[in-house]
């Protein structure tokens, strides 16, 4: 009887007392710790425990996550260790007691990914920004009162993805328009003609950060017709001011959001600068045939601050290098007056040079009049020289008048684009409906006879720009174009380096 009782205890009591040993030893990812500063500043951190290689933080203020693909107000992957911790820092965050941060985290440890789908932190008190954090509370080493304290450890231009819509408006008063000797230009700004030769817009990028009175930083997915393999976003890794230069650099999406992030869902919130509730602002791999674009980059425009019809644009820049990278020095239509599809309303390129692997000595510029060949580049000019254009700074120019367009580089005009009887004749046989709209305008330059604005950015891949390249790892209109491009990253990503950053010294627009 005693032997039976001992056997009963071994078989039934001990398993229920101790449970599954595999579950009891399962790794539990650490919860993030929060510090909030007065008047502004936020730190979220975890200890850099052995085996942890990255910490991703997604957060929303006073609003819970309702969709799997919500990114949140804050979104960043940290891979560098500071003082033994992975630190997420937002030096501009302004919080008050009672605010609640709803968050999600992703921790990669020993090659395994651990996700927390829900968490909440409520602000109870604010720490004075000028007071060192007590080691006993935060674990952050105290500093002297004269040293720079957390969260003020980032450069002035580092910031989270946020609403960056500019409130700037165009200037109504252009000095000198009424001067006795002012030669009226053909350039129109705000419905008024200005003086010929007058400087109308300028940015030398000498400030500590991007001037949001002049530029809007785009937050959206690349879209039709080119569908570049990128996400345009306001992240400090991708866009910044450094040493008096605008710097735009492409990086990998999964470097920021963690391994496998390109196979999930991603959406911009209110900060999206595209068409809301469209593919400009949200991508879901369960719905789309392709993955989330695998490259993060940046683009800025003057859509909210400066629009003009006719003028001369000069941009001094060092163009980016690296396979399938290209610069975006654009003049973009302000409206879809002639239509939204297939560049029916046009696009002007001030300079286009592929970063590699071919044609790096080939400079192109001019007008895009359709999305695909043979019409697409029929009004583009090409200059071949025994020089790699991306190896040094050059001044790229485009002069745009009612009589035509002239392309130049370093004060040398290398091409003139004559509209002839009208640009509509270029596309009439293949795009008759769009051609009719251009013809009915009565302007030889249509669709390039309306307001346009400036755009600066860096693109990667896409459906049409590399049609002449042999051996590219995707089909231009392939359903899985981005996926096949991404699979071949071992071949193209090693060509990306410090020279893959586009550097812009200045942008100037003159009346003509």
pLDDT value of residue 398: 98
CA distance 456 to 199: 19
Q: In the chain, what are the domains?
A: 33-128 (2.60.40.2140), 188-511 (2.60.120.200)
pTM for the structure as a whole? 0.68
Buried b (16+ CB within 10 A) or exposed e, 331-356: bbbeeebbeeebbbbbbbbbbbbbbb
Report residue 381 as tokens.
């000019």
Taking the CA of residue 172 as centre, how many other CA atoms within 13 Å lie in the half-sphere pointing to its CB? 0
**CA–CA–CA angle 426, 399, 243 (5° rounding):** 125
Report residue 286 as tokens.
């369960």
pLDDT value of residue 58: 87
The bridge status of strand 282-284 relative to strand 52-61 is unpaired
Task: Enumerate residues 6+ apart whose C-beta is below 8 A from 500.
Answer: 249, 250, 320, 321, 322, 325, 355
* Gap between the terminal Cα atoms of the chain: 108
Buried b (16+ CB within 10 A) or exposed e, 108-125: bbeeeeeebeeeebebee
Buried b (16+ CB within 10 A) or exposed e, 234-249: bbebbbbbeeebbbbb
CA distance 448 to 332: 10
β-bridge partners, 397: 314, 408
- Give the H/E segment covering residue 292: none
CA distance 508 to 456: 13
pLDDT value of residue 68: 56
pLDDT value of residue 16: 35
Q: What is the mean pLDDT of each run of 10 residues along the chain (512 residues)?
A: 43 37 62 92 92 89 73 79 89 90 90 82 84 38 29 32 35 43 85 90 95 95 92 96 96 94 88 85 79 96 96 97 96 94 95 87 94 90 92 96 96 95 94 94 95 97 85 84 94 96 97 95
């Amino acid at each position: 009887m005693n032997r039976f009782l001992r056997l009963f205890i071994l078989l039934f009591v001990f398993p229920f007392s101790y449970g599954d040993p595999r579950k009891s030893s399962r790794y539990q990812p650490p919860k993030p710790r929060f510090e909030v500063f007065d008047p502004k500043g936020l730190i979220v951190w975890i200890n850099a425990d052995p085996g942890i290689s990255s910490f991703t933080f997604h957060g929303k203020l006073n609003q819970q996550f309702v969709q799997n693909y919500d990114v949140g107000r804050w979104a960043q992957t940290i891979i560098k260790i500071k003082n033994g911790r992975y630190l997420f820092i937002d030096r501009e965050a302004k919080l008050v007691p009672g605010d609640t941060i709803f968050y999600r985290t992703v921790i990669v440890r020993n090659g395994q990914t651990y996700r927390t789908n829900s968490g909440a932190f409520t602000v109870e008190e604010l720490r004075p920004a000028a007071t060192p954090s007590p080691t006993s509370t935060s674990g952050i080493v105290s500093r002297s009162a004269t040293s720079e304290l957390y969260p003020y450890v980032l450069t002035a231009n580092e910031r989270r993805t946020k609403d960056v819509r500019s409130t700037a408006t165009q200037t109504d008063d252009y000095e000198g328009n009424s001067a006795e000797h002012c030669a009226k230009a053909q350039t129109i700004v705000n419905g008024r003609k200005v003086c010929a030769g007058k400087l109308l817009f300028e940015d030398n990028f000498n400030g500590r950060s991007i001037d949001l009175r002049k530029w809007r930083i785009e937050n959206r997915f690349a879209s039709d017709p080119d569908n570049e393999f990128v996400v345009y976003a306001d992240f400090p890794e991708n866009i910044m001011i450094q040493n008096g230069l605008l710097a735009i650099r492409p990086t990998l999406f999964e470097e920021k959001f963690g391994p496998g992030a390109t196979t999930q869902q991603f959406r911009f919130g209110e900060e999206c600068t595209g068409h809301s509730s469209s593919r400009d602002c949200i991508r879901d791999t369960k719905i789309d045939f392709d993955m989330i674009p695998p490259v993060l980059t940046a683009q800025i425009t003057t859509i909210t601050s400066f629009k003009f019809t006719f003028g001369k644009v000069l941009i001094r820049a060092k163009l980016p290098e690296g396979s399938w990278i290209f610069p975006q020095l654009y003049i973009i239509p302000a409206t879809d007056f002639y239509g939204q599809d297939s560049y029916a309303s046009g696009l002007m390129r001030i300079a286009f040079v592929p970063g590699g692997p071919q044609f790096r000595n080939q400079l192109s510029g001019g007008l895009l009049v359709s999305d695909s060949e043979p019409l697409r580049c029929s009004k583009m000019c090409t200059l071949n020289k025994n020089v790699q254009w991306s190896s040094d700074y050059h001044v790229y120019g485009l002069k745009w008048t009612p009589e035509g367009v002239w392309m130049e580089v370093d004060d040398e005009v290398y091409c003139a684009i004559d509209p002839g009887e009208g640009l509509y004749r270029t596309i009439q046989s293949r795009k008759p409906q769009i051609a009719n709209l251009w013809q009915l305008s009565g302007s030889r330059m249509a669709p390039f006879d309306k307001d346009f604005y400036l755009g600066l950015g860096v693109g990667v891949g896409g459906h049409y720009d590399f049609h002449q390249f042999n051996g590219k790892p995707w089909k231009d209109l392939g359903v899985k174009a981005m996926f096949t491009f991404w699979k071949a990253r071992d071949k193209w990503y090693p060509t990306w380096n410090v020279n893959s950053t586009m550097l812009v010294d200045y942008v100037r627009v003159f009346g003509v």
